[in-house]
Copies of this chain bind each other. A is one copy, B any other.
């Protein structure tokens, strides 16, 4: 990702980056996304446009950079005392946040950037949240599915529907979580095949 952690983190570069990021977020509250231009951001940030062009290249990269930062989770998944419930609570909140207009815009911004590292980072943010839930479950001695399986069975369908169709409702999210948790304690299981 462009513009992240330059070689001189304490100085002017950092100030400019912070100021530009803040300007983007400020403009986003004031106007629609499509109307935001680099000259406008530069003016808001008190910076010359060529600075932004040289550091980020184009507006997609800049918006992706800002979106990744905003998508960074700011708290630990709530602890309900049970892995399955933790996952359900987390997934409900995740689906809601990502379905919101700002959420969808941030995802779109991240995916629109040329270099895929922003998307990869976001995926890792999510994965880390789930790892926290999984680790807690393991500490309690509960069974809990692979993190990869959670990504496949819970996160992916939520994201797919947000991106390609209609946002999933609470019932659907619950069904997804149940389907994932079946991997560790199948609803109806025995020692051998019936056929």
Measured CB to CB, the closest approach of chain B to A158, in angstroms, equals 8
One of A46-54, A92-100, A187-195 contacting the partner: A187-195
Residue A151 lies at the interface, judged by CB distance under 8 Å to chain B: yes
Within 8 A of B (CB), among A151-177: 151-153, 155-157, 159-161, 163-165, 176
Name the interface size band of chain A: 20 to 34
Answer whether A163 and B112 are a contact pair too, CB < 8 Å, given A153-B153, A188-B191: no
From B120, B176, B186, contact of A164 by CB (8 A): B120
Within 8 A of B (CB), among A46-101: none
Residue A181 lies at the interface, judged by CB distance under 8 Å to chain B: no
Residue A136 lies at the interface, judged by CB distance under 8 Å to chain B: no
Q: Who on chain B is nearest to A149 by CB? A: B179
* B193 engages A187 (CB within 8 Å): yes
